[in-house]
Chains A and B, each alone.
Chain A
């Protein structure tokens, strides 16, 4: 069965901390995505990657960076967490031939 695994379901961090959100997929997908979801705002794309070491900014990249050192793993980094980054973070992956995305279960991040 297809699997996208996010390292934590719930995470609580303090303002100013460096935060790593990890995502691993087992489908050999080239494309990987990070979204955040806030009430009333839907899913908003932060970054995506179409290959190892390749990354592209999404619609709201400010305050975030990403890393993709291996094909199966895509990490989202909050260099200095702020309270306005409290949100649900969702990772997804797909083949480039279509937009059939597979999502992880999400990480609910609270920054205090």
Chain B
């Protein structure tokens, strides 16, 4: 799996868009980018994933750069309940280990 790099922490005002960056400069062609979030004292929860096209679902949008070396998770209207640690991973699936880093701690401020 490609290594990913994320800022350790970010703040966002409630109601504004939260843009969380992830660097995956060594990503290979068959690796997807996955995002998870972990609310305090719970197990991580899948948010979204993509290969090279931008993706959107009911939780968030994922923007992947054309060279696929970085991506941004967008929470369009952050709420206090979005305060969590967000993890970005790059993986091709299959029968292999899945490693997480330390993620970005997002604090949504009232």
Contact = CB atoms under 8 A, between A and B. Distances in A.
B98 interface: yes
B104 to A, nearest CB: 11
A70 interface: no
Interface residues of A, number: 31
Main secondary structure of the interface of B (DSSP, over half): loop
Given A96-B93, A98-B49, A105 B102 contact: no
B81 interface: no
A33 B91 CA distance: 15
Given A92-B43, A100-B46, A102-B46, A43 B100 contact: yes
Interface stretch (A12-20, A34-42, A76-84): A34-42
Given A56-B97, A101-B44, A102-B46, 5 more contacts: A35-B100, A41-B102, A45-B97, A48-B98, A92-B43
Interface of A: 4, 30-31, 33, 35, 40-45, 48, 50-51, 56, 58-59, 90, 92, 94, 96-106
